[in-house]
Amino acid sequence: MIFPTPKQMKTIEENSEKNGVSCRELMENAGGALTMLIYKIGQETDISSGVVFVCGSGNNGGDGFVAARLLAESGSNVTVVLACGDPSTELAAMEYCELSGVHGVEVLNLNDNIDKVFSKFASAAVIVDCVFGTGFHGFLPPQIKACFSFAQRSPAIKIAADVPSGADCLKGTVEEGTLKCDYTVTFGYKKIGMLFEPLAEYCGEIVVGEIGLPAKAATGVELLPTLFEEKDVTPLFPKRAKNSHKGDFGKLLNVAGCANMSGAAALSTKAALRSGTGLVTLASSEIVISRIAADMPEAMYLVTDKADADTIVKECDGKDAVAVGCGLSVTAETKKLVEKIIKNAACTVILDADGINCLADNIDIIRDKKAELIITPHAGELARLCGTTTEEAVADRLTLAVNLSREYGVTVVAKGTPTIVVGKGKAYVIPAGNPGLSKGGSGDVLTGIIAAFAAQGLEPVDAAAAGVFVHGAAADLAAEKLSEMGMLPSDVIENLPFVFKKWNR
């Protein structure tokens, strides 16, 4: 399942034309999909009082004209409101001409008949928003905001054609005055922004309308966001051979912890142990290791000072993955340590938390990486890496993750709801987990899982995506047993075995 951006959707539609399905056919099919939902609603609700289509001048309005024509031809009471004047695109104009020949359709220009339009809203059974499509950006015009304000107060069922007008289908944001709908019929594919709040709420129930896009139309579209789910995870972990030994499942070095954050070292190390790694070594200070070693006899320990970067870098030799940053702190010494590991470690490096923060003022260090690099920023860390604000990072994690991955050749785990993983030409969307993960330490657990999978030989983008999925699945088990409010990151670790047990792994 893919979730195109608006730009990618435009490319898919252009490719459809090249593969034998014209844009006119797509519009006819889109209008048909919209009509089918209204028919379905009519089977459960009396819609004889009328269906009002609020249509823009572009192709989104054209979709509405098709649906209005089909409903009117079947005898429904239909009103079309021209919210932005006459059609301005060739396709929309063609469909408007088709509609004008149908008996029983009342067409009203919003600016000339505003009182009558609002009266229609008050009595309508269904109001359909066909004003702006997925390419919308900017602000809603005042007359559209006023129109939607009256429509919102109507008891009618509200439906959006493709997307509620005023919504950004890339970022998932909505402009002030956007109509909150009961249903959205989105054409071809659910768009990436519909996975994010607040747009997901404004869409209501999302129905994906089949519009006849050829399968080849999406082929070759770069970095199409793709759903990563259980069926994608399990093949990455074949059953273990009966004669397996610890050397078969990777060696991981975890550079983590400081006096004030020894828990981060414990959580990331234990998560790695619970995720199947053959050998896990924690490199940390004596005080951290003395606090946590008794609870983790399965781990090995390297007692060292962060100032002794050379010793830690030497410990990277022979490892299959190195995790850096959980509770590490940000000092001149840790910045030097992170830089040395990136430039010298010959295995996959997973950079989290303070490992990322140590790079924020000199990200170009990662251009000199010796091996593959996975970074796992939350929105604030992503903003610092990209030189933008946290608000902008929250609004558009996909674009920032894609740009960061392309620019530096790294795998990016842009944490959030959903989490986005980008690397090696792939973009995965993983709607995993629950609000119970909104606690300090959850990111440390995720890092341990991803690092464990990388140590076991998974490609960085697969290790990252699988780690996010498994982390979320274990969190759901923890919430089921303990509640979202009461669960802890350590409970997620304790539920990891039950995720793997389900797969017989």
Q: Which helix (H) or strand (E) holds 263?
A: helix 262-274
Decide if pLDDT at 227 tops 90.
yes
Question: According to the model, what pLDDT value does residue 305 have?
Answer: 87
Question: Which one, of 379, 404, 3, 444, lies nearest residue 226 by Cα?
Answer: 3
Give the pLDDT band of residue 293 (cuts 50, 70, 90): very high
Kindly give, in sequence order, each residue whose CB lies less than 8 Å from that of residue 403, ignoring residues fewer than 6 positions away.
386
Cα dist. 202→9, 165, 199, 229 in Å? 20, 10, 5, 25
Question: Which string of DSSP letters, residue by residue, matches 163-212?
Answer: S-TTB-TTT--B-TTPPP-SEEEEESS--GGGGSTTHHHHH-EEEEE---
Decide if pLDDT at 243 tops 90.
yes
Q: What CA dihedral angle connects 485, 487, 492 and 494, to 10 degrees?
A: -160
Do the Cβ atoms of 145 and 176 come closer than 8 Å? yes
Decide if pLDDT at 137 tops 90.
no
Look over the chain and give the mean of its residue pLDDT values, rounded to a whole number. Answer: 96
**Is there a cis peptide before residue 198, judged by omega within 30 degrees of 0?**
yes
Domains and CATH numbers, the chain: 6-221 (3.40.50.10260), 246-417+438-459 (3.40.1190.20)
pLDDT in tens, 143-166: 999 999 999 999 999 999 999 999
Q: Count Cβ atoms below 10 Å from residue 505 Cβ, excluding itself.
A: 13
Question: According to the model, what pLDDT value does residue 419 have?
Answer: 97
Cα 284 to chain centroid, rounded: 34
Question: According to the model, what pLDDT value does residue 467 have?
Answer: 98
Question: According to the model, what pLDDT value does residue 273 have?
Answer: 98
User: Three-class SS of residue 259?
Assistant: coil
- Tell me what the mean pLDDT of segment 454-471 comes to: 98
pLDDT in tens, 43-74: 999 999 999 999 999 999 999 999 999 999 99
Kindly give, in sequence order, each residue whose CB lies less than 8 Å from that of residue 285, ignoring residues fewer than 6 positions away.
257, 258, 259, 303, 304, 305, 306
| Of the listed ranges 181-185, 307-311, 377-381, 403-407, the one predicted with least confidence | 307-311
Question: According to the model, what pLDDT value does residue 259 have?
Answer: 94
Decide if pLDDT at 408 tops 90.
yes
Question: According to the model, what pLDDT value does residue 101 have?
Answer: 81
Decide if pLDDT at 221 tops 90.
yes
Do the Cβ atoms of 201 and 158 come closer than 8 Å? no
- Tell me what the mean pLDDT of segment 35-39 comes to: 97
**Is there a cis peptide before residue 142, judged by omega within 30 degrees of 0?**
no
pLDDT in tens, 91-130: 999 999 999 889 889 999 999 999 999 999 999 999 999 9
Q: Indicate the pTM of the whole model.
A: 0.93
Give the pLDDT band of residue 89 (cuts 50, 70, 90): very high
Do the Cβ atoms of 257 and 293 come closer than 8 Å? no
pLDDT in tens, 312-358: 999 999 999 999 999 999 999 999 999 999 999 999 999 999 999 99
Question: According to the model, what pLDDT value does residue 172 have?
Answer: 95
Give the pLDDT band of residue 446 (cuts 50, 70, 90): very high
Q: CA-CA distance, 478 to 473, in Å (whole number)? A: 9
Decide if pLDDT at 280 tops 90.
yes
User: Three-class SS of residue 464?
Assistant: helix
Decide if pLDDT at 195 tops 90.
yes
Do the Cβ atoms of 322 and 253 come closer than 8 Å? yes
Give the pLDDT band of residue 360 (cuts 50, 70, 90): confident
**C-alpha Rg value of the chain to the nearest Å:** 27
Angle between helices 460-482 and 442-455 (to 10 degrees): 140
Instruction: Determine what percent of the chain is predicted with pLDDT higher than 70.
Output: 100
Q: For 348, left (φ over 0), alpha (ψ -120 to 50), or beta? A: beta
Do the Cβ atoms of 279 and 217 come closer than 8 Å? no
